[in-house]
Amino acid sequence: SVTILGVTYRSSGVSADMWTRLACDIEEKVDRARTYALPLAERRYLAYSVFCGRLWYLAQAVLPPTRFIRRVKSALFSFFWSEKTELVTRPVVCLPRERGGWGFPCVDIAPTVLQLKTMLKILRDEPGPARSLALYFVGHSRRDLGVESPSSPGPCAETPPPDYRRAIQLFKRLEERAPQLDVVETPTARLTEVLLEPQISATQVELGDSFSWSRLTSSYLPGHLRDFEWQRGWGVLPSKDRLLRWGVSRTDECPNCGNRETNVHAVKECVVARTFWRVIRTSFHGLGVGLYLLRGRCPPGVFVRLLFAAAGYVLWRNRCCAVRQARRSRALWPLLWRLRRELVGHLEEQLFFLGEQEFLRRWSCRYLSVRDSRIELRFRYLDNP
């Protein structure tokens, strides 16, 4: 055997032991990371950059076997969902954040895309040993790849090897779905998104287009609020209507008003939610609260995103307390003070890390100011009850 740039080859091809060692290494890293309570965005970062970093490197030269892909895919999604039920389909999770996903690594598509990009770079490169071998293995399919034949064509394979065949088929699919994209220049994540689109149902597309993903799951928000808004956007919060379908709850009645509880009802339509939002609309007039409640559109502005996400989270926590205590929880003042704590807590953390000048540049709002290195939040209903 011989090892070239970390890849072990034998006479039969890439060593199977190499893939076994890599799978074990990924699983060990996943097991260590499970001990930490991480938000979904950080889980995605670990999976993409730390767990799969070596896989992306190897995939530029060789395709991983199917057994390896299944094993790694299972470990990664188990880590993403904390070994719980997967509430959103895997293709959706792999979509970019602006379309309702997290950009989670798609280990069954991305390696093939990486190999295709490497093959096209070699075929479009200057003449050399690598290009001659690639032209031989591609054979007459070079026309399908848009590669010009050399002036003195040499011998070529009658049938391309399996890896080359898969790459050629993938190129044809990309040409069919997105002919305007240059495979070599386009980022792998964008090409993967194009290939994932047929796996997204029409209902998921409609739901994904109706939610302000980029704003309500913004990186400016704390992790627990981003996770909450993402689950709310896909309607997978464990409301009573969902628990009834699963056989976990005997009824779908809202714990605070008795009406049928859905994800939307819990944070917008319940009598507690309506009163709560009315106070927020009065206290933070001019921030687009009415438009958000009526059409679900989140106005621009970092503080507005934090306000809406924190308000929804506070309402959901109040609903959960009512379920746990088996009695209604309608008191308004505790909800408003919890909202204030959520807002001020995150804003003070941002002030500490950014400094006053950068903080005001990013978070500037007429309801927000800094005095003596302390956050001053003008919450009219609490300041003047």
Look at residue 332 in the predicted model and tell me its pLDDT.
95
pLDDT at res. 227: 97
Ordered by start, the domain boundaries in the chain are 2-108, 111-199, 211-383
Q: Could you read off the pLDDT of 58-96 as tens digits, one per residue?
A: 898 888 999 999 999 999 999 999 999 999 999 999 999
Given a contact cutoff of 8 angstroms between Cβ atoms, the answer to whether 5 and 54 are in contact is: no
pTM, two decimals, is 0.90
Mean pLDDT, residues 265-284 taken together: 96
**Chain-wide mean pLDDT for the chain?**
91
**Number of CB atoms found within 10 A of residue 147's CB:** 18
Question: 96, 103, 104, 99: which is closest to 79 by C-alpha?
Answer: 104
The per-residue pLDDT for range 123-180, each reduced to its tens digit, is 887 777 888 888 888 877 777 787 776 655 667 777 888 888 898 899 999 999 999 9
| 3-state SS, residue 51 | helix
Cα separation values, 374 from 366, 367, 368, Å: 16, 14, 11
Determine the pLDDT at residue 1. Answer: 75
Find the length of the chain.
385
Tell me the C-alpha distance between 60 and 115, whole Å: 5
pLDDT score for 380: 84
> pLDDT tens across 290-321, in order?
999 988 888 889 999 999 999 999 999 999 99
Residue 235 banded pLDDT, cuts 50, 70, 90:
very high
For the stretch 330-352, pLDDT in tens is: 999 999 999 999 999 999 999 99
Quick one: average pLDDT of 229-237? 96
pLDDT band of 384, cuts 50, 70, 90: low
- Over 60: is that where the pLDDT of 363 sits? yes
Residue 82 · residue 134 · CB < 8 Å: no
Task: Give the H/E segment covering residue 121.
Answer: helix 110-123
Percentage of the chain beyond pLDDT 90 is: 74
